[in-house]
Structure 1
Amino acid sequence: MKTLLLFLKGGNYNRFATFMLLIILLSGKSFANINLSSISGKVVDGKTHMPLENVIVLINELNIVSKTDSLGYFQFSSVKEGRFTLRISLIGYKSTEENVFAGKDDLTNLLIHLFPEALYSQTVIITGEHPTSAFDNLEKASHVLKDRDLQRDIGLTLAATLKNETGLAMRSMGPAPARPVIRGLGGDRVVISEDGFITKDLSSTSPDHAVSVDPFTAERIEVIRGPRILCKTSSTFGGIVNVIKDEIPFKIPSGIKGSAGVFGESVNNGLMGAVVTEVPVYDFVFRGELSNKHAGNLTTPIGSLNNSDLETLSYAGGLSFVKEWGFLGVSYRTFESDYGVPGGFIGAHPNGIDINMMKHQLNTRLNINLKSEFINSLDINFSRNYYRHKEFENNNLIGAEFALYDYSGNIKVNHSTFGFFEEGIIGLTLNHRDFKVGGYVFTPHSNSFNAATYFFESFHLGKIDFQFAARYNFDQVKPEFEKSDSKIGHIRNRFFKTYSLSLSAVYELWQDIHIGTNLSKSSRIPTIEELFSEGPHLAAYSYEIGNPDLDAESGIGNELFLFIINNWFYSLINVYYNSFSNYIIPRNTGKINYSTLLPVYASSGERAFITGIEAESEIKFSDELKFSFSLSYTYGELKSLRSPLPAIPPLKGLLDLQYSSNNFSAGISSEFAASQNRIDKFEQPTSGYFIWNGFSQYIFITGEFVNSITFNAENIFNKEYRNHLSRVKSIVPEAGRNFKLTYKLYF
């Protein structure tokens, strides 16, 4: 310092100025070799798409931190060029990482989704208070369709949305009456629910009946298997498709939020629109929803499928009172649909059948957070449903009419750690159903009653995680009149007492590799139609004969699986075998009822087995590029006859190559299926196929709004192919070349 002062006193100002200028120039030259840019973006709730405040965003390599503001925005200034990993975290949310590249230009408009750590489900509550189990990782990695994937795969129906999920197929009788099939099992072995409330319609009873659920307003769709399904159903071999909409809100948002969207496709001139909003007022939250869709006749590679049009209107309102102790809420939904069932084949009306359906559903829920030493929460819900369904012939006469009044109640206790049991569920459910039939259908008016108790528990011993569940059912099916001299047998009051069990275990073989098994005992009582039907069902193009002496369906199943997951690779392989001592099935007898010219289907209980394999894998070649594939194969046989089970899907799969960079993604995929020649006596074989699809998706921010645009091209080469589970495959193939466009706005 003294030397510097002497230097300045000596009048060497010019020398000093020259010296400082030289340092600056040299520094500038060295800094010029370092490109600096900024990184900025927005963090939103992955479920609600609302901005999140006070989120910690960390650049791992530089160890610098930014925090989001009240609008969810964050920014890093003067970041050198290179590849970095952003770690995003917020209390109550699952932390995530994003790989980014900072170049010469600023990196802006990053959109990052954080999902709540506590996954609220109507069948079980998984919280972040305990160590994550292998089951949690398995459930989060598979069987859930949400966010970008849900928008990419959305279709006009729930079955069309899920048809490419591993192990799932689509039963159909035209575009509208389509329903998911799991591992070759359909009907009420596959339960469909909304927010945990079982959907009450007649889609499980006949292939011409549509599902009364609109997937376009769903926030998440999950396929539930394993022990947890015994909280809702006694059939362990199928599964539950739960569409999550949160119609009864359970938390108060920070402000008005919602979404609006439109969907269109070319193959049927389809158009769909929907709006959903949540409005908080003090301790109350109101949720409103409105959706409408229209579709004309389906276009196929060989022509149009007449009478395959669809018109649907759905609206709902929900109101909740939310406090720290829990919430009390109610919702009301109306679903109305008019759709056509195609004709033109043997036993069918030449011009098909028109169906008008309507459902009114009232749901209530009370959830109390007790947080006591033993009980975490108490959940009580009640649901009332009215469903009406009319089938019109081409002369506008009613050929069949159905009415359903359904009342359901459920009490569920979510308990905390007790002994070696971790969080679990104990519950009781009651259901009463009044089923009325009119027109030319001669199934008697009937009532049914169900009372069931169940529990679900999880625990671990060493490196093995366990889940166990049990369910006991008492059922009564009572026809309006007893008839001992009926042509199909003695129609009378029937009682059933059944139980179901399921045990799953997962063992950590290595850090990223798990193996597991599931053992289950399944049961299912026969439906009213399987017991008492006697007459034509015109829209299904069948003459249906029930069997009032049927016993409950029963079977034993076993499943083995291998699960691998790390940062760049994921794989799940399942092998299963389900043996039925009494498999209830309506089979085509090969006979014709000559008064109606309809094929005769008769219900019977048979010894049978269904076995198969499922595999799905995902490989990340880089941060932007990944490849995935899935494969499903099902083999079914009637043991006593040593003949194939009818309506078993063929070997099918999906190949998918996807590129993602920040807010843009695109990919190509191929759906394929083998031929199906293992068929029942009067079933038709189908050929294999290979079709190509493509998609692109862009998500961007405008002010406080999040926008998403998705474009899909399906069956690009207009390939003619047929779905083996379609009842109209004999007259027309599946959809031809199709272009879909989806736009959603989140506010």
Structure 2
Amino acid sequence: MGNKMFKKTILACLVAGSLLSGQVSAESISGVVTDSAGKPVAGAKVTVVGENQHAITDEAGRFSVGQLLMQDAELHIEASRYAHRNFHFTVPQQGLSDVSLVLLSSTIEVIDVKASPFHASATESAIPVSVLAGDALKMRQAGTLGDTLKNEVGVHSNFYGGVASSPIIRGLDGPRVLITQNGLDAGDASRVGPDHSVAAEASTATQIEVLRGPATLFYGSGAIGGVVNVVDERIPTDNSTRAEWMLQRESVNNEKLAAGSLVTGVDNIGLYVDGFWRDSDDYRIPGFAEAQPDDDAVKGRVASSAATAKGFTLGGSYLLDNGYVGVSYGRLEREYGIPGHSHGGHEEEGDDHAAEEQVYADLTQNRYQLLSELNFSSGLIRTVNTRLAFTDYEHSEIEGGAVGTTFKNRSQEARLELLHRPYQDWRGGLSLHYKFSDFEAVGEEAFTPPSETQMLALGWMEERHFGPWLVQVGARVERVTIDATDVLLPDIGAHSHDGDDHGHDHDHGAEFIRVFDVSQRFTPYSVSAGTVWDFTEGYNLGLSVSRSQRAPAASELLSFGAHIGTASYEVGALFVLDDDEFVLNTQPIEMEVANNLDITLRKFSGNTGFVLNAFYNRIDNYYYQQNTGLFAESGHNHGGHDHGDDDHGHSHDAELPVYLFTTADVTLHGLEAQFSWQINDPFKLTLQGDYIRARIKGGGDLPRTPPLRFAAELAYELDALSADVRATRYFKQDKVSELEQATAGYTLLDASVSYRFDLGPQQLTAYIKGQNLTDEEARVHTSFLKDLTPLPGRSVAVGIRGSF
């Protein structure tokens, strides 16, 4: 069913592109780019929106673009330390010459967003957007995606012992935050559990974009909380030769990193290749890994936190006068330990049983992508964007040298965007989106049954300028199906710790009392409206309102089993608790409904700038894991090694707290702020903070809500030398759910210094960066393993990177 639908969608995408054609016009535009004082801006990039061409201004600020496809031309201008601007022209047959384009200086880093079909920068969007790119991305990149983005405003990490982490956006993560690679689902298993690594690599990315708040119009109901889009050049849009590479060594875990990428080509062919290798040992900590260490606890390291990864990507494009068509293949391999999974990490040096008890994950992914953008000079359709992906993902957990559990996800995705020619100044179009996922878990920790999830959606988006106002509207409707066979309803022998075992025999583990099939159908829809008001030069005000629905994920519905990676026993919403017994839920399965309001005030010109966000999100039928207060057997033994009276929490008769996916009406609201001050030419001060409040209607708080956070950074940049020092304060989080423990606050001090060597066509940058320089013990409240894996201690990394 899924393969047939995928092939039909591919055929529709290719036919749509082949039926449309246009004539290349001879119009051209040339002119000069200056600042507000009339001085030329050299190195500015002038892009023709909707066409595959751009120009770079020379020392005099001059540029020229020709062979325009359309008479209604839009130029997008971007330059370092300037706010981006768009200029619209009606180009006569002979073209335009000597046009003057003026940019405003900006102390806020302004970067274009690739995640939207509308050409816009982070300061031009109705919804809050953060973009990490360039040197900032290279300095912050970490072994996991969540740890790479943890310093972005409104973004936290669900830290998992340094080996796996996902970004948390405004208190939301898991199936509500979509992780994409060049606009298409990453196709891994990271949405199922925090112990599953995200299959995306930051070291070879050109930028990472975070869309805060619902982005369902572009990506579907899986983005009800936001989107993280990892962008690279695996399918090049030009064939100019350029390359980047980096080498790094870090002290806290003895990590070695090598990464590089190359874009080149000949004639109408663009080629791309990248690769990386990363290897690290167990990381050091200032104290004990356990929050409450026992007599056998080992101080100074977190066991099973070592990791190794490698991968490469090959891509190529055929470059046309009106766009490009390209394909790519990527291979990723990653092995990493499961902290807290091998007897709490108590294997001491010389322990003969350490090897057989070691538990680690072995991840492989093969990913194929096709991207195409075609622009046309006549007819109703102006641009056709096609995106296709096929991903084969496998994740095995190795215990004592044998495979314990294997997770597989084979996914297919296709998206076709038909953008029409401006009609009465409205720009936009339709989006046809299809996604299919065949997920399977096999083994003793297969806490969710095999399932197939299929989504087909139609979206509509439009925008128009009304003087200083930009108005954006859109809607999307989906059809989501979840089908599963061999769904199990076990008798788990759940009990409280009051001595009452309810008559269950705990010596025999779970017995399955029913096996059945499940088929669920949902029709979620989303509507959104937003505006950006440039009420005076250098300022704007953004407002976005949306109503979005989300069908529950298969794991939220069907889970029933021990999830050792989170030290819990998970039960899906398809079941309910009745007198300490789990039975089938006979009530209809409801969809989440989110009503979101975002207000953003920006100042983006001059020596000072700021971005202030306020948001309110009311979600009905919110799915979350509720601690039932009951315990169930893990039914699991890592190698069967007997440590006497101390089973370290993971012997066969160990018990796990039972968490039930249930629904409640909740509200999440908060503030995000960022302030920048260019004190003088070399010094820049940045202050930022975020606050999230997540409450259940009728009383109570949602679990693992990020705490209040403030950060201050002083940066120095003059000629070839750059340096910065940053202090981040995480406050105590005591607004916790029932049976959840509060987490103490902590302060992290980071710093870096880099020096750039200009060697003609090549630039080399040597750097040193330190993290947690005060060696403070810090536990992340949003982590499932906060009581087993604190953050790494003092760390110093040295590296060198180059480009040409």
Letter in 2 for 1:94: I
Q: Cα offset for 1:67? A: 10
Distance (Å, rounded) in 2 between the aligned partners of 1:337 and 1:582? 36
Report if aligned partners of 1:89, 1:96 keep a CA contact under 8 Å in 2.
no
Match of 1:609 in 2: 667
**Cα drift, residue 646 of structure 1:** 0.2
What amino acid does structure 2 have at the position aligned with 1:294? D
Say if 1:615 and 1:244 are closer, same or farther in 2 by CA, change over 3 A.
Answer: same
Q: Quote the Cα distance in structure 1 between the aligned partners of 2:43 and 2:731.
A: 53
Q: How does 1:262-661 map to 2 (within 5 A)?
A: 262-302=247-287, 303-343=300-340, 353-393=359-399, 395-421=400-426, 423-440=427-444, 441-481=446-486, 491-548=517-574, 550-594=589-633, 596=635, 597-640=655-698, 642-661=699-718
**In structure 1, what is the Cα distance between the partners aligned to 2:346 and 2:598?**
43
CA distance in 2, matches of 1:223, 1:710: 26
2:165 to 167, 174, 178: 178
Measured against aligned partners, the alpha-carbon deviations of 1:206-240 in whole angstroms (never above 9, x if no partner) come to 01111111100111111124675521122565211
The aligned residue for residue 19 of structure 1 is: none
On the 8 A contact 1:463/1:507 being kept in 2, the answer is yes
Partner of 2:119: 126
- Deviations 1:237-292, CA, capped at 9 Å, x for gaps: 52111111021112221xx3212211221111111111211231221112111111
Please say if residues 286 and 318 of structure 1, whose CA atoms lie closer than 8 Å, have aligned partners that are also in contact.
Answer: yes
Q: 1:166, 1:653 within 8 Å by CA — same for their partners in 2?
A: no
- Choose from 178, 186, 203 the match for 2:190: 203
Instruction: Describe the SS at the equivalent of 1:416.
Output: strand
Structure 2 residue matching 1:164: 3-state secondary structure: coil
Distance 1:530 1:219 in 2: 34
Which residue matches 1:21?
none
Shift of 1:473: 0.9
Q: 1:666 to 1:477 in 2, by over 3 A?
A: same
Amino acid corresponding to residue 667 of structure 1 in structure 2 = D
Q: Provide the secondary structure at the position in 1 that maps to 2:536.
A: coil
Give yes or no for contact 2:224–2:550 (8 Å, CA) kept in 1. Answer: no
In 1, the alpha carbon distance for the partners of 2:522 and 2:272 equals 40
- Other structure's SS at 1:242 match: strand
Tell me which residue corresponds to 1:697: 754
Give 1:658-669 correspondences, 5 Å limit: 658-669=715-726
How much has 1:706 moved relative to structure 2? Answer: 1.7
Cα offset, 1:670, TM superposition: 0.4
Change in 2 beyond 3 A, CA 1:189/1:62: closer
Q: Say which SS state the counterpart of residue 493 (structure 1) adopts.
A: strand
Instruction: Verify the 8 A CA contact 1:343 1:352 in the aligned structure 2.
Output: no
For 2:77, the aligned partner's letter is: K
Residue in structure 2 matched with residue 94 of structure 1 by the alignment: 77
Aligned partner letter, 1:400: T
Which residues in structure 2 correspond to 1:253-268 (within 5 Å)? 253=240, 256-268=241-253
Deviates more, 1:379-388 or 1:499-508: 499-508
Kept in 1: contact 2:564–2:634 (CA 8 A): no
Gap change, CA 1:698 and 1:398, over 3 Å in 2: same
Trace 1:219-230 onto structure 2 (pairs within 5 A): 219-225=206-212, 229-230=216-217
Instruction: Report what 2:201 is aligned to.
Output: 214
> How far apart are residue 731 of structure 1 and its match?
2.8
* Superposition TM-score, scaled by structure 1 size: 0.81
SS in 2 for 1:480: strand
Deviation of 1:483 (Å):
7.2
Matched ranges for 1:665-676 at <5 A: 665-676=722-733
Equivalences for 1:99-118 in 2 at 5 Å? none
**TM-score (ref. length: structure 2):** 0.76
- Tell me, yes or no, if the aligned pair for 1:297 and 1:307 is still in contact at 8 Å: yes
Measured after TM superposition, the shift of residue 730 of structure 1 is 1.0
- CA shift digits 1:432-476 (9 cap, x unpaired): 211112101253221111101112221233432222222111011
| Structure-2 separation of matches of 1:450 and 1:95 | 37
Change in Cα spacing, 1:345 to 1:185, as seen in structure 2 (3 Å) is: farther
Aligned counterparts of 1:631 and 1:409: Cα–Cα separation in 2: 38
Judged with a 3 Å threshold, the aligned counterparts in structure 2 of structure 1 residues 417 and 601 are, in CA distance, closer, same or farther, namely same
Q: Deviations over 1:35-63 (max 9, x none)?
A: xxxxxxxxxxxxxxxxxxx9989899997
How many residues in Structure 1 have an aligned counterpart in Structure 2?
655
Q: Which amino acid aligns with 2:788?
A: I
Unaligned residue ranges in structure 2 (runs of 5+)? 1-29, 45-55, 66-74, 83-109, 288-299, 348-356, 491-511, 575-584, 636-654
| Residue of structure 1 in register with 2:293 after alignment | none
CA distance in 1, matches of 2:709, 2:525: 33
1:248 aligns to what? 235
Letter in 2 for 1:734: L
Secondary structure, counterpart of 1:417 in structure 2: strand
- 1:235·1:522 contact (CA, 8 Å) conserved in 2? no
The Cα offsets for residues 347-405 of structure 1, whole Å up to 9 and x where unpaired, read as 99986631111111111123221233532211122211111111123x23433211111
Asked if structure 2 preserves the Cα contact closer than 8 Å seen for 1:330 and 1:364, the reply is yes
Instruction: State how far apart, in whole Å, the 1-side matches of 2:118 and 2:523 are.
Output: 29
- Inter-partner Cα distance in structure 2 for 1:712 and 1:356: 30
Instruction: Work out the CA distance in 1 between the residues paired with 2:43 and 2:537.
Output: 33
Distance 1:205 1:494 in 2: 18
The 8 Å contact of residues 167 and 173 in structure 2, kept in 1 or not, is answered as yes
Q: Which amino acid aligns with 1:320?
A: S
Q: Which amino acid aligns with 1:331?
A: S
- Pair 715,608 (structure 1): closer, same or farther in 2 beyond 3 Å: same
- TM-aligned CA distance change 1:65 to 1:403, over 3 Å: closer
CA contact (8 A) 2:156 2:169 kept: yes
> Does residue 688 in structure 1 map to residue 745 in structure 2?
yes
For residues 169 and 240 of structure 1, the distance between their equivalents in structure 2, rounded to whole angstroms, comes to: 14
Q: Determine what percentage of the aligned residue pairs are the same residue.
A: 25
Per-residue CA deviation, residues 659-687 of structure 1 (Å, 9 max, x unaligned), is 11133211111011110011112222111
Residues in 2 aligned to 1:97 and 1:729: alpha-carbon distance in whole angstroms? 40
Q: Which residue of 2 aligns with 1:45?
A: none
SS of the equivalent of 1:217 reads coil
Instruction: Quote how far apart the aligned CAs of 1:93 are.
Output: 7.2
Aligned amino acid, residue 730 of structure 1? D
- Provide Cα deviations, 1:335-354, integer angstroms capped at 9, x if missing partner: 11100111179999986631
67 and 648 in structure 1: CA distance in 2 versus 1, 3 angstrom threshold: closer
In structure 1, distance between residues paired with 2:43 and 2:678: 29
**Residues 365, 382 of structure 1: 8 Å contact kept:** yes
Q: Distance in 1 between matches of 2:344 and 2:624?
A: 20
Q: Equivalent residue of 1:188, what SS?
A: helix
> For the Cα contact (< 8 Å) 1:151–1:710, is it kept in 2?
no
The one-letter code matched in structure 2 to 1:655 is A
Higher relative contact order (CA 8 A, sep 6+): 2
